[in-house]
Amino acid sequence: MESDFPDSASDDGGFDLRQEIARSAFADMCHDWERNQKYDRALQLTIGRIHAAGREAHVLDIGTGSGLLSMMAIRAGADSVVACEAFRPMADCAEKVIAANGMQDRIRLIKKRSTKLTVGPGRDMERRANVLVTELFDTELIGEGALATYRHALEHLLTDDLVAIPHKATVYAQVVECPLALSWQLLKTLSNADGDILLRVPPEVIACRGTSAVFDIQLSQLPTSSFNVVTEPIPVFTFNWSKRHELINNRFAKNVCQARTSGFPQAVFMWWDLTMDLEGDVLLSCAPYWAHPDQKKLMDQQQQQLQHQQQTKRRLPEGNLIPWRDHWMQAIYFLPPLKLPLQRGQEFVLQSYHDEYSLWFGLEADQQVETSPVDAPHCSCGWHIAQSRSRIGQMNDSLRNKRYLNFFERVFSSDTVLLVLSEGSLLGLAAARMGVKKVLLYEPNAVSRRCMETFVEHNSVPNVRFLPAADALEPEEAATVTHVFAEPHFPSAILPWDNLHYGDLLKNLRTLLPRTVTVIPASATLYALPVEFLDLQKINAPLGSCERFDLSPMDRLIEQHSAYADSPVEAQPLWEYPAYPLAGTIRLMEIDFVDGFEQTKLERGELVVVEPERLNGIAVWIDWHLDGGHSPKTTISSGPLVPVEEASDEPVRWNMNWRQGVHLLRKHPNRKTIIPWTVKFNPTMNNVYFQFDYDE
């Protein structure tokens, strides 16, 4: 594709840089209409008030990205604007955007970090600015280094009477009891169908608080039936962005709370809001829908729209009433466990902490007993390092485990020698506890292997040997194997079908294994579903114009690098992004692990789409068939919880413990009712390639 953008990737890390550009959140932020409009309104109010006071408005835009906020400042009447951007490809793009909008002579663009700017006649900034507009925030608010950046700017780049946009931020915490969220954090006891305990969780794993990495999530999509609200939202920290002495790295706050319901306080839901202007007229909230300040107004608006659109049965899910954004979500933090539940009306103390980049929380159930400060969480058990949260959710999935264990009871015996080609598989240990003769566990990762060893030691699991590599399986031992099992799971897998690595391992061991060996799973099936996403498509959609500014140069930059670096199908937890099915599920390809796995496979077909103009994405997932059949009782699916047989006005219900694959249409609306597709599986590269031909 011809482009006037320099090939900056060739100088700065090649593929990784291109992918960073393609998957950056710049376009996602520009699709956030509420963010854009409230920044715009705050600039208009602030600059207007400064002019009304007889002063000039000199604006500094830190981390300008596309240049959008700088252009808004010019439109609002700023007397001067200096914009800085350190990410060179984005800075070059901002230069083109500003020029495309005829503002190149009014905005001074400096391609460096704000901490490198110089002030004075003939320097980067002719004078200190008295208006700071910036967006330095992430889901955790301070995770991108906002505190240090603000402190430096306040000391070196801004006047004493400056006005910051946004003016301040408030962090909210809501204490909840949420077994679903806890299932992504804490491993559970594994029992068989009769309730007999097979594996108990070691105490050091139970006591571990996990990692400090933020658990960002679209809380509005979490089923309200999955959590019990223990408190109302509580403001725990305020950050005044114009007060340098208040922007310190380490703070601790205590809030006396009253339990509104009985229950175990297991987690904190966190979000923040921005007061955009000094007078507090403009508020931008990242709250989930049930706590959003505009919830009632937005619900009333939807009711009015439905009255005028009675022909459609599609009702916007309640969680999608509020403005959508993916660059700022909400977060979950896990609390140290309490031995006794709180009673309704009981008072307790919520402890809130932050350092330069992170937040965390603690609890005092008894106000009379002074507790020690709670340190920032870090994983001491290894499981939260070796496995993702969604993987821990899979391991705790009772229905999934029941299907595996019921199948084990049918096919294993006391003579079974089981080879497990899956990493971090407690089900392999469960098989040993069920009385098989021997279990050989493939565990090449030292951290994962040590995690598994703690379960073996704590549960006195007999007849288990770990294999640090596939070639550690001795020929004499391989000859005794009666069954090969994989969940399959490998920590390196991003897309569900990346776990086809199991077939590659199996293929390489075939010559050592008996011909009569039973392979579990015996096959897998790839499926696709054409859908209309309500919002997810925005992360890949062209901007065109934004708040009446031409942002097409940024579209070209992202498209250029996306074509080079992006896979046609990317991984997303689709339960967080509601979508309506526009057809029934389509079978793409069957992959056999018993026979013929080493052969390249090519499948072609067609998707027939209802209302093709609504199509903006194609979901893809894989099902694993334990015995080669397609019975639900012997199938482990990473896709919908309920089979999708036709187009529907009800959103798809996705498995919440898996990331699915999704192909997002960059050019839409689609006009084709019939969409040809091609899928190729290359076992040598262990890759699956997809092509969907929806262009006219």
Q: Are residues 34 and 57 in contact, defined by beta-carbon separation less than 8 angstroms?
A: no
513-550 tens-digit pLDDT = 999 999 999 999 999 999 999 999 988 888 888 999 99
Q: pTM for the whole thing?
A: 0.93
Average pLDDT over residues 351-374: 88
Confidence of residue 665 (pLDDT cuts 50, 70, 90): confident
Confidence of residue 8 (pLDDT cuts 50, 70, 90): very low
606-644 tens-digit pLDDT = 999 989 999 999 999 999 999 978 899 999 999 999 999
Report whether pLDDT(564) > 70: no
Q: Which domains does the chain have, with CATH numbers?
A: 15-135 (3.40.50.150), 170-382 (2.70.160.11), 386-520 (3.40.50.150), 523-692 (2.70.160.11)
Q: Which of 21-30, 125-134, 359-368 has the lowest mean pLDDT?
A: 21-30
Report whether pLDDT(470) > 80: yes
Question: Is the model more confident about 120 or about 193?
Answer: 120
Average pLDDT over residues 570-582: 96
38-54 tens-digit pLDDT = 999 999 999 999 999 99
Question: Is the model more confident about 175 or about 685?
Answer: 175
Average pLDDT over residues 454-476: 96
d(CA 131, CA 336): 42
Report whether pLDDT(408) > 80: yes
The predicted pLDDT at position 203 comes to 95
Contacts 24+ apart (CB under 8 A), 140-145: 140/214, 140/216, 140/270, 140/331, 140/357, 140/358, 140/359, 141/169, 141/171, 141/239, 141/272, 141/359, 142/239, 142/354, 142/356, 142/357, 142/358, 142/359, 143/214, 143/357, 143/358, 145/356, 145/357
- Average model confidence (pLDDT) for the chain? 91
The predicted pLDDT at position 28 comes to 74
Confidence of residue 9 (pLDDT cuts 50, 70, 90): very low
Average pLDDT over residues 249-256: 96
The predicted pLDDT at position 556 comes to 83
Question: Is the model more confident about 24 or about 645?
Answer: 645
Element (H, E) at 74: helix 68-75
Average pLDDT over residues 102-108: 97
Report whether pLDDT(314) > 90: no
The predicted pLDDT at position 308 comes to 61
What are the DSSP E strand ranges found in 248-346?
251-258, 267-275, 283-285, 330-334
List, by residue number, the catalytic residues. 135, 144
